[in-house]
Every structure is written in structure tokens, then in C-alpha cells.
Amino acid sequence: MLLCDIGNTSYHFYNGTQDFRYSVDEFNPQSIAEQTFYISVNHTLKQKLHNLTNWIDLERFIDRKQFYETMGIDRIVAIETIKNGVIIDAGSAITVDVVKEGGFEGGFIYPGMNAMAQCYKNISSALDYSFNFELDLGKMPKNSQDAISYGYLKPFVDEIKSKNLPIILTGGDALEFKKIFPDAQLDQELLFKGMKKIITKANLC
């Protein structure tokens, strides 16, 4: 049995002991013969996988009523794993969800680091820098790289901290974000834990 969380840019697998990623553009889901329970925010792939009998979409076993209609299934699955905290899923988009006493308080979506770097670059080649995650966020910047790094990171960090809740970090860029949230708990298996919970609840295996 495999678990798979499909995002906009990658398939993220878990085989019970290890997790691994494949690019959405390069990976062929037909190359997997094992039974694979998955969730997907990627609607094009969802359509494709529908025809593969060993790929089982967990979305139909999830109760959406606490959430809003267009909310990404990955966020819902992650939320189901914790009782109190802010979940930051740092992928091509960054989703931030607040959970208090097991209830969903709401959440927001922020661009992922690659999308945001591309965004600055698209505005002007003068803003073509990578982000400095080691920046001192206590000081107003006085150079271009720090000016965009601060713009991307400082307001975001303060917003998260203002919730005064434990922070759980997951997603492909979680390690970078750990630098600016040193006290956060890093959990690359968060979504898989949520998926296992759903499988057990629905008696799927």
C-alpha cells in the first residue's frame, strides 16, 4: 500500500517508512502497480487517475461540512490531524490553517517561495533575487535582496506568530521556512497521518 499527496507540482509518496517525491510533469501514475490511496488538489491529474483502479481517491471518504466548498483537500486532511495549532504547508502555494480545540478557525493562502521569486522577477529584472531566509527581521532593509526578502517573509512571520499557537510545518519548502520559524515542529508526514486516519475510519484496509 502506498499513500500519495498530489500537489500542483509534485506527487508526494509514502510507503510506510519513507517519503519521496516525483515531478507532476515527469511521473507516470500507471508505473505504479500497488494499491495507492491519494488526495489531489491537482484537478487535471484527478481526472486522469479516476481511470486507474489501483488509485483510490480518499476525498470521497472525507466529511467536508466543517469546511468551505473550494477548500483544498490537502488542507482538510492536515487539519484533521491536530487539535490546536497553525499548520503551514509550504509548497508551490503556502496554505496556513488555524485549528483551535479541534475546530477549523479559518486559513489563508500565500505564494510559495518559487512562485513569489518569479513574481518579483516578472515585475522587473531589478527584483530578480532569491530570498534571504537568514535575514534579521528586526531591522528595516537597506539593500535590494533584503528589501524583497523582508517583504515576503516579515509580514508573514508576524501574522503566524500573532496566533499564539504551536506551529506545524510541512511541505516541500518546509526546511527553508524552519529557519524563520525555529520553534516550529517539522512534520513531513503530517498529511500521511491524516490520510491513515481517514483510511482507518472508513475501514478501507
Give contact residues for a second copy (rule: CB under 8 A): 8, 41-43, 67-72, 92-93, 96, 98, 104-112, 115-116, 118-120, 122-124, 126-127, 139-144, 146-148, 150-152, 154-156, 158-159, 162
Q: Contact, 92 vs 112, CB < 8 A? A: yes
Q: Which residue has the cell 511541505?
A: 171
The cell for 121 is 522577477
The one catalytic residue among 5, 74, 173, 187: 74
The cell for 191 is 498529511
Which CB atom, from 71 or from 184, has the smaller least distance to a second copy? Answer: 71
Shortest approach of a second copy to residue 57 CB, angstroms?
17
The cell for 73 is 483537500
Q: Contact, 63 vs 202, CB < 8 A? A: no
Shortest approach of a second copy to residue 93 CB, angstroms?
5
Is 136 marked active-site?
no
Which CB atom, from 156 or from 177, has the smaller least distance to a second copy? Answer: 156
Which CB atom, from 27 or from 129, has the smaller least distance to a second copy? Answer: 129
Which CB atom, from 116 or from 196, has the smaller least distance to a second copy? Answer: 116
Shortest approach of a second copy to residue 151 CB, angstroms?
4
Active site residues: 74
